[in-house]
Amino acid sequence: MEKENFTIKDAARFMGVPTSTIRYYDKEGLLPFVERKESGYRIFTEKDIAALRIIDCLKKTGMSIREIRQFSEWIEQGDASLQQRYEMFLERRRIVEKQMAELQKILDIVNYKCWYYETAVAAGTEKIHDSDR
């Protein structure tokens, strides 16, 4: 298998963001592992693309850029930071599980409102649900 390299445009396409976002992440210290050509152009390896996907995942768990930078710094430290990274993912798991429980509650309310308005539309008025809004 060949070791393929990618441009910043490719990386942006993989992530579904503009290239300016990738540059911003790099400037904020999220991508210290990305190498450069002599010209200064960034070179993204498959490993880098995989790391970008993890960064995207962490973002979607609600982590801030600053918190993700900490993770990138830990990656740079190698095996010395394995325990910290492990604990970070354990915490992210707790947080995502909480988010899912919260979202289920939200869905329950939305489902109630769907029923509320379905019946109100059928009746032509909201008055059938009095003492409610």
Partner DNA sequence: TGTATCATTAAAGTTAAGTTTAAGGTCAAG
Partner DNA sequence: CTTGACCTTAAACTTAACTTTAATGATACA
* CA separation for the pair 111, 46 (Å, rounded): 43
Question: Of 45, 49, 60, 64, which lies in the binding site for DNA, with binding defined by CB under 7 A?
Answer: 64
Element (H, E) at 6: strand 5-6
Candidates 60, 38, 63, 33; CA nearest to 48 is 33
Our finding on whether 118 is near its own copies (CB under 8 A) is yes
Q: Are 52 and 59 in contact (CB under 8 A)?
A: no
Our finding on whether 98 is near its own copies (CB under 8 A) is no
In 6-81, which residue ranges form alpha helices assigned H by DSSP? Answer: 8-15, 19-27, 46-60, 65-77
Question: Of 7, 24, 75, 76, which lies in the binding site for its own copies, with binding defined by CB under 8 A?
Answer: 75
Q: Which of residues 6-45 bind DNA (CB under 7 A)?
A: 7-9, 17-21, 23-27, 36-42
Instruction: Please name the amino acid found at residue 102.
Output: E
Residue 21 CB, shortest distance to DNA, in Å, is 4
Interface residues toward its own copies, by CB under 8 A: 47, 50-51, 54, 57, 60-61, 75, 78-79, 82-83, 85-86, 89-90, 92-93, 96-97, 99-100, 102-104, 106-107, 109-111, 113-114, 117-118, 120-121, 124-126, 132-133
